[in-house]
A = this chain, B = another copy of it.
Amino acid sequence: MFNEEYFRFKELVEEHLLHFLPEVDNKSITLYESMTYSLKAGGKLLRPVLLLASCEFCGGDVKLALPYACAIEYIHTYSLIHDDLPAMDNDDLRRGIPTNHKVFGDAIAILAGDGLLNSAFEAMNKDMLLYLDDMDKLKRRVRAIYEISKGAGCRGMIAGQIADIEAENKQCTKELLDYIHVNKTAALIKSAVRAGAHLAGADKKTFQDLDEYAENLGLAFQIVDDILDINGDEEELGKKTGSDQAKKKATYPCRYGYEESKQKVWELTDNAKRAMEHYYDNAEFFVQLADELAVRIK
Protein backbone atom coordinates (compact mmCIF):
# COMPACT_ATOMS: atom_id res chain seq x y z
CA MET A 1 0.00 0.00 0.00
CA PHE A 2 2.74 2.45 1.00
CA ASN A 3 4.87 1.46 -1.97
CA GLU A 4 1.96 1.93 -4.34
CA GLU A 5 1.23 5.34 -2.93
CA TYR A 6 4.86 6.42 -3.19
CA PHE A 7 5.01 5.09 -6.73
CA ARG A 8 1.84 6.95 -7.70
CA PHE A 9 3.27 10.29 -6.55
CA LYS A 10 6.70 9.53 -7.97
CA GLU A 11 5.31 8.55 -11.35
CA LEU A 12 3.28 11.76 -11.54
CA VAL A 13 6.43 13.77 -10.90
CA GLU A 14 8.48 11.75 -13.39
CA GLU A 15 5.87 12.22 -16.09
CA HIS A 16 5.84 16.00 -15.62
CA LEU A 17 9.41 16.68 -14.55
CA LEU A 18 10.56 18.25 -17.82
CA HIS A 19 7.18 19.75 -18.55
CA PHE A 20 7.71 22.91 -16.50
CA LEU A 21 11.15 23.77 -17.84
CA PRO A 22 11.11 26.81 -20.12
CA GLU A 23 11.01 25.95 -23.79
CA VAL A 24 14.48 26.57 -25.13
CA ASP A 25 15.47 27.04 -28.75
CA ASN A 26 18.13 25.15 -30.65
CA LYS A 27 20.90 27.55 -29.61
CA SER A 28 20.46 26.58 -25.99
CA ILE A 29 20.39 22.88 -26.59
CA THR A 30 23.53 22.29 -24.49
CA LEU A 31 21.94 24.12 -21.58
CA TYR A 32 18.80 22.04 -21.88
CA GLU A 33 20.73 18.80 -22.24
CA SER A 34 22.87 19.49 -19.19
CA MET A 35 19.88 20.43 -17.05
CA THR A 36 17.83 17.41 -18.10
CA TYR A 37 20.83 15.07 -17.84
CA SER A 38 20.83 15.55 -14.09
CA LEU A 39 17.05 15.70 -13.77
CA LYS A 40 16.62 12.42 -15.62
CA ALA A 41 19.27 10.65 -13.57
CA GLY A 42 16.56 9.42 -11.26
CA GLY A 43 16.73 9.54 -7.52
CA LYS A 44 14.03 9.03 -4.95
CA LEU A 45 12.20 12.28 -5.76
CA LEU A 46 11.57 12.51 -2.02
CA ARG A 47 10.93 16.26 -1.92
CA PRO A 48 8.34 16.42 -4.72
CA VAL A 49 6.65 13.26 -3.44
CA LEU A 50 6.40 14.83 0.02
CA LEU A 51 4.96 18.01 -1.46
CA LEU A 52 2.27 16.09 -3.33
CA ALA A 53 1.51 13.83 -0.39
CA SER A 54 1.17 16.79 1.94
CA CYS A 55 -1.09 18.59 -0.54
CA GLU A 56 -3.33 15.55 -0.96
CA PHE A 57 -3.43 14.90 2.78
CA CYS A 58 -4.78 18.43 3.27
CA GLY A 59 -7.46 17.94 0.63
CA GLY A 60 -5.69 19.59 -2.31
CA ASP A 61 -5.48 18.49 -5.93
CA VAL A 62 -2.05 16.97 -6.61
CA LYS A 63 -2.26 17.72 -10.32
CA LEU A 64 -2.41 21.44 -9.60
CA ALA A 65 0.57 21.11 -7.25
CA LEU A 66 2.84 19.62 -9.92
CA PRO A 67 4.61 22.85 -10.94
CA TYR A 68 5.69 23.29 -7.31
CA ALA A 69 6.64 19.64 -6.87
CA CYS A 70 8.79 19.72 -10.01
CA ALA A 71 10.26 23.11 -9.06
CA ILE A 72 11.48 21.75 -5.74
CA GLU A 73 13.19 18.89 -7.58
CA TYR A 74 14.85 21.44 -9.90
CA ILE A 75 16.16 23.19 -6.80
CA HIS A 76 17.38 19.97 -5.21
CA THR A 77 19.06 18.94 -8.47
CA TYR A 78 20.78 22.30 -8.98
CA SER A 79 22.19 22.05 -5.46
CA LEU A 80 23.63 18.60 -6.24
CA ILE A 81 25.21 19.83 -9.50
CA HIS A 82 26.91 22.74 -7.76
CA ASP A 83 27.85 20.59 -4.74
CA ASP A 84 29.59 18.07 -6.98
CA LEU A 85 31.80 20.67 -8.71
CA PRO A 86 35.58 20.39 -8.27
CA ALA A 87 35.52 23.68 -6.34
CA MET A 88 33.05 22.13 -3.89
CA ASP A 89 32.89 18.39 -3.09
CA ASN A 90 34.62 17.28 -6.32
CA ASP A 91 32.52 14.18 -6.85
CA ASP A 92 32.67 12.11 -10.03
CA LEU A 93 29.60 9.96 -9.56
CA ARG A 94 26.02 10.79 -8.64
CA ARG A 95 22.93 8.62 -8.90
CA GLY A 96 25.05 5.96 -10.57
CA ILE A 97 26.24 8.09 -13.50
CA PRO A 98 29.04 10.64 -13.99
CA THR A 99 28.36 14.01 -12.36
CA ASN A 100 27.20 16.90 -14.53
CA HIS A 101 30.57 18.65 -14.80
CA LYS A 102 32.26 15.36 -15.72
CA VAL A 103 30.06 15.22 -18.82
CA PHE A 104 29.55 18.88 -19.72
CA GLY A 105 32.53 20.61 -18.10
CA ASP A 106 32.57 22.98 -15.14
CA ALA A 107 31.29 26.10 -16.94
CA ILE A 108 28.19 24.43 -18.36
CA ALA A 109 27.55 22.66 -15.05
CA ILE A 110 27.58 25.98 -13.18
CA LEU A 111 25.12 27.45 -15.70
CA ALA A 112 22.96 24.31 -15.70
CA GLY A 113 22.66 24.71 -11.93
CA ASP A 114 21.83 28.39 -12.28
CA GLY A 115 19.35 27.49 -15.00
CA LEU A 116 17.58 24.94 -12.83
CA LEU A 117 17.31 27.31 -9.88
CA ASN A 118 15.95 30.05 -12.11
CA SER A 119 13.61 27.61 -13.87
CA ALA A 120 12.16 26.54 -10.54
CA PHE A 121 10.99 30.07 -9.81
CA GLU A 122 10.03 30.71 -13.42
CA ALA A 123 7.78 27.63 -13.36
CA MET A 124 6.10 28.56 -10.09
CA ASN A 125 5.68 32.20 -11.11
CA LYS A 126 4.25 31.17 -14.44
CA ASP A 127 1.74 28.95 -12.67
CA MET A 128 0.58 31.90 -10.59
CA LEU A 129 -0.36 33.76 -13.79
CA LEU A 130 -3.12 31.16 -14.25
CA TYR A 131 -4.85 32.25 -11.05
CA LEU A 132 -5.00 36.03 -11.42
CA ASP A 133 -8.78 35.86 -11.18
CA ASP A 134 -8.97 33.43 -8.28
CA MET A 135 -7.81 35.27 -5.20
CA ASP A 136 -7.99 32.25 -2.92
CA LYS A 137 -5.91 29.98 -5.14
CA LEU A 138 -3.46 32.78 -5.89
CA LYS A 139 -2.90 33.47 -2.17
CA ARG A 140 -2.12 29.82 -1.52
CA ARG A 141 0.42 29.86 -4.32
CA VAL A 142 2.11 33.00 -3.09
CA ARG A 143 2.52 31.36 0.32
CA ALA A 144 3.83 28.13 -1.19
CA ILE A 145 6.42 29.80 -3.38
CA TYR A 146 7.69 31.95 -0.51
CA GLU A 147 8.00 28.83 1.63
CA ILE A 148 10.16 27.17 -1.02
CA SER A 149 12.29 30.27 -1.59
CA LYS A 150 13.01 30.43 2.16
CA GLY A 151 13.89 26.74 2.51
CA ALA A 152 16.21 26.85 -0.49
CA GLY A 153 17.88 30.11 0.44
CA CYS A 154 20.30 31.85 2.75
CA ARG A 155 18.36 30.91 5.89
CA GLY A 156 17.89 27.37 4.62
CA MET A 157 19.77 25.06 2.27
CA ILE A 158 22.46 27.52 1.17
CA ALA A 159 23.16 28.46 4.81
CA GLY A 160 23.66 24.76 5.53
CA GLN A 161 26.01 24.32 2.59
CA ILE A 162 28.19 27.25 3.65
CA ALA A 163 28.36 25.99 7.24
CA ASP A 164 29.18 22.51 5.90
CA ILE A 165 32.12 23.84 3.90
CA GLU A 166 33.37 25.99 6.75
CA ALA A 167 33.18 23.09 9.21
CA GLU A 168 35.44 20.86 7.07
CA ASN A 169 38.68 19.92 8.81
CA LYS A 170 37.59 21.64 11.98
CA GLN A 171 36.56 20.50 15.42
CA CYS A 172 32.82 20.85 15.07
CA THR A 173 30.67 21.88 18.02
CA LYS A 174 27.32 20.16 18.62
CA GLU A 175 25.62 23.47 17.94
CA LEU A 176 27.25 23.86 14.53
CA LEU A 177 26.54 20.25 13.61
CA ASP A 178 22.86 20.77 14.44
CA TYR A 179 22.85 23.97 12.42
CA ILE A 180 24.27 22.17 9.38
CA HIS A 181 21.68 19.41 9.75
CA VAL A 182 18.72 21.70 10.21
CA ASN A 183 19.63 23.73 7.14
CA LYS A 184 21.51 21.58 4.62
CA THR A 185 18.81 18.98 4.10
CA ALA A 186 15.92 19.35 6.52
CA ALA A 187 15.05 22.91 5.47
CA LEU A 188 14.09 22.01 1.90
CA ILE A 189 12.29 18.84 3.01
CA LYS A 190 10.32 20.93 5.46
CA SER A 191 9.57 23.48 2.74
CA ALA A 192 8.23 20.74 0.50
CA VAL A 193 5.74 19.59 3.13
CA ARG A 194 4.76 23.14 4.11
CA ALA A 195 4.35 24.24 0.48
CA GLY A 196 2.08 21.26 -0.21
CA ALA A 197 -0.04 22.18 2.80
CA HIS A 198 -0.22 25.84 1.71
CA LEU A 199 -1.34 24.83 -1.78
CA ALA A 200 -4.19 22.84 -0.28
CA GLY A 201 -5.14 25.66 2.09
CA ALA A 202 -4.50 23.51 5.17
CA ASP A 203 -5.93 24.54 8.53
CA LYS A 204 -3.52 25.71 11.20
CA LYS A 205 -3.45 22.54 13.29
CA THR A 206 -2.82 20.22 10.35
CA PHE A 207 -0.16 22.59 9.12
CA GLN A 208 1.61 22.49 12.49
CA ASP A 209 1.49 18.70 12.68
CA LEU A 210 2.92 18.32 9.20
CA ASP A 211 5.58 20.85 10.05
CA GLU A 212 6.59 18.92 13.16
CA TYR A 213 6.66 15.73 11.12
CA ALA A 214 8.78 17.24 8.36
CA GLU A 215 11.31 18.76 10.72
CA ASN A 216 12.00 15.43 12.42
CA LEU A 217 11.93 13.48 9.17
CA GLY A 218 14.38 15.90 7.55
CA LEU A 219 16.85 15.62 10.41
CA ALA A 220 16.57 11.83 10.47
CA PHE A 221 17.08 11.72 6.72
CA GLN A 222 20.35 13.66 6.91
CA ILE A 223 21.78 11.37 9.61
CA VAL A 224 20.74 8.29 7.61
CA ASP A 225 22.53 9.77 4.62
CA ASP A 226 25.66 10.37 6.66
CA ILE A 227 25.59 6.83 8.08
CA LEU A 228 25.18 5.38 4.58
CA ASP A 229 28.18 7.39 3.45
CA ILE A 230 30.16 5.26 5.91
CA ASN A 231 28.66 1.80 5.61
CA GLY A 232 26.28 1.95 2.64
CA ASP A 233 26.48 0.01 -0.59
CA GLU A 234 28.07 2.13 -3.33
CA GLU A 235 26.16 0.44 -6.11
CA GLU A 236 22.84 0.82 -4.34
CA LEU A 237 23.55 4.46 -3.49
CA GLY A 238 24.88 5.33 -6.94
CA LYS A 239 27.75 7.32 -5.47
CA LYS A 240 31.07 6.82 -3.77
CA THR A 241 30.97 6.28 -0.03
CA GLY A 242 33.53 7.44 2.51
CA SER A 243 33.74 10.93 1.05
CA ASP A 244 32.60 12.67 4.24
CA GLN A 245 35.40 11.08 6.20
CA ALA A 246 37.93 11.85 3.49
CA LYS A 247 36.91 15.52 3.55
CA LYS A 248 36.62 15.53 7.34
CA LYS A 249 33.02 16.73 7.08
CA ALA A 250 31.08 17.48 10.22
CA THR A 251 28.55 14.64 10.42
CA TYR A 252 26.65 12.89 13.19
CA PRO A 253 28.39 9.50 12.85
CA CYS A 254 31.79 11.18 12.70
CA ARG A 255 31.10 13.01 15.94
CA TYR A 256 28.92 10.57 17.88
CA GLY A 257 29.73 7.22 16.33
CA TYR A 258 27.49 4.70 14.64
CA GLU A 259 25.39 3.48 17.59
CA GLU A 260 24.48 6.88 18.95
CA SER A 261 23.65 8.17 15.46
CA LYS A 262 21.41 5.19 14.85
CA GLN A 263 19.64 5.82 18.10
CA LYS A 264 19.16 9.46 17.14
CA VAL A 265 17.62 8.39 13.82
CA TRP A 266 15.05 6.24 15.62
CA GLU A 267 14.31 8.98 18.12
CA LEU A 268 13.66 11.49 15.32
CA THR A 269 11.64 8.91 13.38
CA ASP A 270 9.47 8.32 16.44
CA ASN A 271 8.97 12.06 16.86
CA ALA A 272 7.95 12.36 13.22
CA LYS A 273 5.47 9.48 13.49
CA ARG A 274 4.05 10.79 16.75
CA ALA A 275 3.23 14.13 15.09
CA MET A 276 0.95 12.32 12.66
CA GLU A 277 -0.35 9.26 14.50
CA HIS A 278 -3.59 10.86 15.72
CA TYR A 279 -4.73 10.97 12.11
CA TYR A 280 -4.69 7.14 12.19
CA ASP A 281 -5.10 5.54 8.77
CA ASN A 282 -5.22 8.86 6.97
CA ALA A 283 -1.59 9.52 7.83
CA GLU A 284 -0.38 5.99 7.16
CA PHE A 285 1.68 7.15 4.22
CA PHE A 286 3.65 9.59 6.35
CA VAL A 287 4.17 7.14 9.19
CA GLN A 288 5.40 4.42 6.87
CA LEU A 289 7.60 6.82 4.93
CA ALA A 290 9.41 7.74 8.14
CA ASP A 291 9.98 4.04 8.90
CA GLU A 292 11.15 3.32 5.35
CA LEU A 293 13.77 6.05 5.49
CA ALA A 294 15.05 4.85 8.85
CA VAL A 295 15.31 1.16 7.98
CA ARG A 296 17.75 2.02 5.20
CA ILE A 297 20.47 1.91 7.86
CA LYS A 298 19.14 -1.50 9.07
Which among A40-48, A50-58, A159-167, A206-214 touches the partner chain?
A: A159-167
Q: Does A255 contact B (CB under 8 A)?
A: no
A27 within 8 A of B: yes
- Do A153 and B30 contact each other (CB < 8 Å), given the known contacts A132-B142, A146-B129, A158-B115? no
B159 near A28 with CB under 8 A, answer yes
State whether A82 touches B108 (Cβ < 8 A): no
Stretch in A116-124, A218-226, A233-241, A285-293 with 4+ CB within 8 Å of B: A116-124
Contact A163–B27 (Cβ < 8 Å): yes
Q: Quick one: which of A13-31 are within 8 Å of B by CB? A: 21-25, 27-28, 30-31
Check A12 for interface membership: any CB of B closer than 8 A.
no
A75 nearest in chain B by CB position: B118
Q: Are B87 and A153 in contact (CB under 8 A)?
A: no
A145 is an interface residue with CB less than 8 A from chain B: yes
If the complex has contacts A117-B118, A118-B117, A129-B142, are A155 and B24 also in contact, measured as CB distance less than 8 A? Answer: yes
Is A297 in contact with chain B by the CB < 8 A criterion?
Answer: no
Q: Are A149 and B125 in contact (CB under 8 A)?
A: yes
List which A116-174 residues lie within 8 A (CB) of chain B.
117-119, 121-122, 125-126, 128-129, 132, 135, 138-139, 142-143, 145-146, 149-150, 152-155, 158-159, 161-163, 165-166
Task: Knowing A108-B165, A111-B162, A125-B146 are in contact, say whether A27-B155 is a contact too (CB < 8 A).
Answer: no
Compute how far the CA of A194 lies from the CA of B35 in the bound complex, rounded to whole angstroms: 28
Is B24's CB under 8 angstroms from A114's CB? no
State whether A28 touches B149 (Cβ < 8 A). Answer: no
Interfacial chain B residues near A128, Cβ < 8 Å: 142, 146
Contacts of A199 in B (CB 8 A): none
Asked if A110 contacts B126 (CB within 8 A), the reply is: no
A121 and B119 contacting across the interface, CB-CB below 8 Å: no
Is the C-beta of A93 less than 8 angstroms from some C-beta in chain B?
no
* A146-B122 CB under 8 A given contacts A106-B87, A115-B154: yes
Give A155 to B35 CA distance when docked, in angstroms: 13
A64 within 8 A of B: no
Alpha-carbon separation in the docked complex, A85 to B101 (Å)? 14
Q: Does chain B have a CB within 8 A of A103? A: no
A107 sits at the interface (CB 8 A): yes
